[in-house]
Chain A
């Protein structure tokens, strides 16, 4: 973006404008575009989640507003915006008001460095992954603040749970990220993607066993950080009413949900960037517009696949208990992540260029898992057929 801004300021239509003002204008413009894009992503994710969830639960899901209910999220958003914004009398009003924006900021900022294509990124920071880890922590501050400022015991419990959970799971997530950084040699998102290829055997996921297990460590930790089932304890609607968001209504409540759904996409995007080859596409065309579109579509679909898996998990698994959550993190995930990192270091020292045989082996392993999984799904689909009275597009 820096290059684009400079070009616009020197030669484009912004020529002759004071440099500072020009930068502010350009940044504001990108922020506006991105904000709208995020709203779209979060909204569509909410609709998709409800549809996917509906199918899993043998019901239909929203299908009334727009074709297949595709603009249900707009109606819901509108409803929430028009609702009264209640601030409880005993609440700490300034903190209560500020909390959703803080959470929103934390997640909005991550989009600045998500690479949707070769040149399609707002800022390719050289400390990319570090930056993401830092700004997503703002979400915790928001949730904790919401829990505290609500002056409600359920909300407080939710806020504390959220803080404990996210801080704990940052560690295995960070260790898994370091494994990737070890092989890419950079924290920059674009460099990480460029270190991979478009073919699955050139993805980091199948590079060696340590990155393979690193992916799962990262995915589990990311689910926990994004407050997703089976780690959705901060809201735990059956235990804590609505957790940290109990007292929120209207737009502020909506913002928290936006953060949740948006974060889901961020998880997908991070997994795609670090393990699934990002926007890399096979060299089939030279048309720059087409290439850009294809890259964007590739990245988007890969991320949405991860999002879909997270939804699937949400539709299947129950919720863990607080002590089990902590046990899983500190007794299992963190030591495994450390050992994994150590293994990755040894591997990197032994084979700095990677090992083709291992890659083939890992791809075969991955394919084997996928085939086994799909056959199980097919088996259950066949068995459940008489029960599927509703078509997926009902």
Chain B
């Protein structure tokens, strides 16, 4: 095992007579690897960080407040902007919250379409994540290769709903459109091509010696710490906690599908290090392909959307639903007073809690490691602030 930076941080002592000064570095909001507008105030001693204090709020767009003004139907396009890297799951979260309020039953074909859209969205999001991680570590090639495949997913989703990034595909009670003719054939063709490519990515970057040295053993998060910090999704599973909303608190038609929940095993050093978190995403893409094959193969007939009035007035009450977004457990809380506008909406996102753990993880790491930590936590700036 090579010397980790943590050891160096502990061993380091200032020689007598040599006064060193703590350096305050401002990483972000404009920095190449903070993926959007994140800001970290880094207290560093040369290359070694004392700590990195996350500063959030640069991308706050009052999305939750907007819902109180635009109503239930009108809020659907705004949910795309909560996490624009994987907008489908946000759509689903909002739709499910409203359906829970009004107790609407979604047609089975609608649920299948949702699952198909969401799993494609998950693959696209994880592709960006793993590609960007490679780029942050200094290898540009995985990024372009990942984006090449993501483009194809965007094409597929464009066929489905006409948009490539902010889909606005789902509606309260189902989906906006049925799948187009020939969609199943093209989607299956993509999966046939994509599945072997995951192994190719692994060959290219995941098991590269330099890459495993950079990612392995860096910033390990123990299962207890992950739970204490409320990590969710791949970050939590990277620490070896087998928890996935899709299997543990099933929603939609996920119980009908057969898939594994990959967890981190500490193959490259400590359990829950950056490499584990990264690898969970790689494995999850394979599982998403499995779900997609089953969903595309067993698509039932029928309508895709239930009958929901143009003026949607759910009875007074509140609902909290959870979906497994690409960045983990997304909670959607909505309070209704019986009018056409929600009284209060709150969205609980995975990136927010992932941001909180950075400060503790960063102590004693090197500046280059902070980049790896941010990348492996897959923080998406708009999801932090909403």
Residues of A within 8 A of B145 (CB): 57-58
When A324-B2, A324-B213 are in contact, do A238 and B135 touch as well, CB less than 8 Å? yes
A236 within 8 A of B: yes
B60 within 8 A of A: no
B205 within 8 A of A: yes
Chain B nearest CB, measured from A20 CB (Å): 51
Q: Which of A69-109 contact B (CB under 8 A)?
A: none
Q: Which of B25-65 contact A (CB under 8 A)?
A: 25, 31-33, 46-47
B23 within 8 A of A: yes
Residues of A within 8 A of B139 (CB): 316-319
Residues of A within 8 A of B366 (CB): 321-323
B141 within 8 A of A: yes
Residues of A within 8 A of B208 (CB): 317-318
Residues of A within 8 A of B197 (CB): 387
Q: Once bound together, how far apart are the Cα atoms of A240 and B134, in whole Å?
A: 16
B346 within 8 A of A: no
Check B367–A318 contact: CB distance below 8 A: no
Residues of A within 8 A of B210 (CB): 230, 317-320, 324
Check A236–B214 contact: CB distance below 8 A: no
Residues of B within 8 A of A318 (CB): 134, 137-139, 205, 208, 210-211, 214
Chain B nearest CB, measured from A81 CB (Å): 25
Residues of B within 8 A of A35 (CB): none
Q: Once bound together, how far apart are the Cα atoms of A154 and B208, in whole Å?
A: 28
A18 within 8 A of B: no
Q: Once bound together, how far apart are the Cα atoms of A231 and B119, in whole Å?
A: 38
Interface of B is mostly: helix
B183 within 8 A of A: no
Check A323–B32 contact: CB distance below 8 A: no
Residues of A within 8 A of B32 (CB): 237-238, 241
When A59-B144, A241-B31 are in contact, do A157 and B214 touch as well, CB less than 8 Å? no
Check B141–A238 contact: CB distance below 8 A: no
Check B3–A327 contact: CB distance below 8 A: yes
Chain B nearest CB, measured from A237 CB (Å): 5
Check B144–A322 contact: CB distance below 8 A: no
- Say which size band chain B's interface belongs to: 35 or more
Residues of B within 8 A of A160 (CB): 46
Give the residue name and chain of the B residue nearest to A232 (CB): B138
Check A323–B8 contact: CB distance below 8 A: yes
Which single member of A236, A317, A327, A384 contacts B368 (CB below 8 Å)? A236
Check B33–A238 contact: CB distance below 8 A: yes
- Say which size band chain A's interface belongs to: 20 to 34
Q: Which of B327-361 contact A (CB under 8 A)?
A: none
Give the residue name and chain of the B residue nearest to A315 (CB): B141
Check A321–B148 contact: CB distance below 8 A: no
Which single member of B3, B8, B134, B367 contacts A157 (CB below 8 Å)? B367
Check A153–B136 contact: CB distance below 8 A: no
Give the residue name and chain of the B residue nearest to A317 (CB): B210
Chain A nearest CB, measured from B335 CB (Å): 42
B265 within 8 A of A: no
Check B141–A319 contact: CB distance below 8 A: no
Q: Which of B95-121 contact A (CB under 8 A)?
A: none
Q: Once bound together, how far apart are the Cα atoms of A240 and B44, in whole Å?
A: 13
Chain A nearest CB, measured from B141 CB (Å): 5
When A238-B33, A319-B137 are in contact, do A327 and B371 touch as well, CB less than 8 Å? no
B5 within 8 A of A: yes
Q: Mark B182-221, 1 if CB is under 8 A from A, else 0.
A: 0000000000010001001000110010110110000000
Q: Which of B10-34 contact A (CB under 8 A)?
A: 23, 25, 31-33
- What 10 pairs across the A-B complex have the smallest Cβ distances? A319-B138, A57-B144, A318-B139, A238-B33, A318-B137, A318-B138, A238-B136, A321-B368, A318-B211, A318-B210
Please list 8 pairs of residues, one from A and one from B, whose beta carbons are closer than 8 Å in the complex, sorted by A's number: A56-B141, A57-B145, A239-B371, A318-B210, A321-B5, A322-B366, A324-B213, A327-B2
8 extra interchain contacts, Cβ-Cβ under 8 A, other than A319-B139, A319-B210? A58-B144, A240-B367, A317-B138, A317-B139, A320-B213, A323-B3, A323-B8, A324-B214
